[in-house]
């Protein structure tokens, strides 16, 4: 097991990519804080799966778009588990609209969660990680952080910001034994893009843009990279944006 004895916070882990990473971290021996935005029942269901499989997990609730909630969440996890070793900034939202229809609210909602939330969750765990001289901070970014998507100006801005945030934070925190990296998924089959996948030709279009010919990957296909970035195997990896995208960004 790669994460024995470690404590991991995974935001937005009551479903989708976050839930898959939570289950995998639990199987790798980590004690896992499964964090829901509002629906604690869904987080409890993921916790039960992890515990039933022989792991250890606990459910938490937080709106990580709010700085005070980031601080409260980190405090609650540290109170429950005694420390924090791994933070996965996974919570995110995606709203596809043309620039003319992008309201201030649509912009703020994506920036506040995807970008600001990642930064302030990192800020909330850094004192504990610095005190122990080790830690792993992983931003779940996107191929939309390294390339553009039409009708996604706010989302691409938030994901590109998350990618470069990793460079800035790693320069600041590497000397403290803290690894700051990101994992950039390609198109993944989750609730986030279910409405778009329902559109005729959408999956086929993404498949045509991906050298593997796979339009949308299974979220479990990301979990090996998430374990790598959380484990001692990546101790000398700082400021990376690890693409798990079926080659989408290689064109």
CA distance linking residue 142 with residue 243, whole number of Å: 8
Cβ 144 to ligand NAD shortest distance, Å: 7
The residue range among 48-56, 63-71, 122-130, 195-203 that interacts with ligand NAD, by the rule CB under 6 A, is 63-71
Structure tokens at 111: 């920036």
- Single out the residue of 105, 191, 198, 199 in contact with ligand NAD (rule: CB under 6 A): 191
CA distance linking residue 86 with residue 128, whole number of Å: 11
Instruction: Mark whether 196 is an active-site residue.
Output: no
Does 74 engage in binding with ligand NAD (CB under 6 A)?
no
**Binding map of ligand NAD across residues 32-61, x = CB under 6 A, - = no contact:** -----x------------------------
**Binding map of ligand NAD across residues 134-173, x = CB under 6 A, - = no contact:** ------x-x-------------------------------
Q: Measured in whole angstroms, how far is the alpha carbon of residue 167 from the centre of its chain?
A: 16
Q: Name the residue among 125, 117, 123, 164 with its Cα closest to residue 9.
A: 125
Q: Which residues contact 138 (CB under 8 A, 6 or more apart)?
A: 86, 87, 88, 89, 181, 182, 183, 226, 229, 230
Q: Considering only CA atoms, give the Rg of the chain.
A: 17
By annotation, the residues acting in catalysis are: 155
Residues of this chain that interact with ligand NAD (CB under 6 A) are 11-12, 14-18, 37, 62-65, 90-94, 113, 140, 142, 185, 187-188, 190-193
């Amino acid at each position: 097991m790669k994460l024995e004895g470690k404590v991991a916070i995974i935001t937005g882990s009551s479903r989708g990519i976050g839930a898959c990473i939570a289950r995998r971290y639990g199987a790798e021996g980590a004690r896992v804080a499964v964090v829901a935005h509002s629906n604690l029942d869904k987080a409890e269901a993921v916790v039960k799966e992890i515990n039933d499989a022989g792991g250890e997990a606990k459910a938490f609730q937080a709106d990580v778009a709010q700085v005070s909630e980031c601080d409260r969440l980190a405090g609650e996890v540290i109170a429950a588990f005694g420390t924090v070793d791994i933070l996965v900034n996974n919570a995110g939202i995606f709203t596809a609209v043309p620039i003319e229809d992008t309201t201030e609210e649509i912009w703020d909602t994506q920036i506040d969660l995807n970008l600001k939330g990642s930064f302030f969750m990192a800020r909330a765990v850094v004192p504990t990680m610095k005190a122990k001289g080790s830690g792993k901070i992983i931003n779940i970014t996107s191929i939309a952080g390294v390339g553009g998507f039409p009708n996604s100006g706010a989302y691409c801005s938030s994901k590109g910001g998350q990618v470069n945030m990793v460079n800035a934070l790693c320069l600041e925190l590497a000397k403290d034994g803290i690894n700051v990296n990101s994992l950039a998924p390609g198109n993944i089959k989750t609730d986030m893009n279910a409405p778009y996948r329902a559109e005729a030709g959408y999956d086929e279009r993404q498949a045509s843009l991906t050298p593997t010919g796979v339009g949308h990957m299974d979220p479990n296909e990301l979990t090996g990279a998430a374990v790598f970035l959380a484990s001692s195997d990546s101790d000398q990896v700082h400021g990376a944006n690890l693409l798990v995208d079926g080659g989408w960004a290689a064109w």
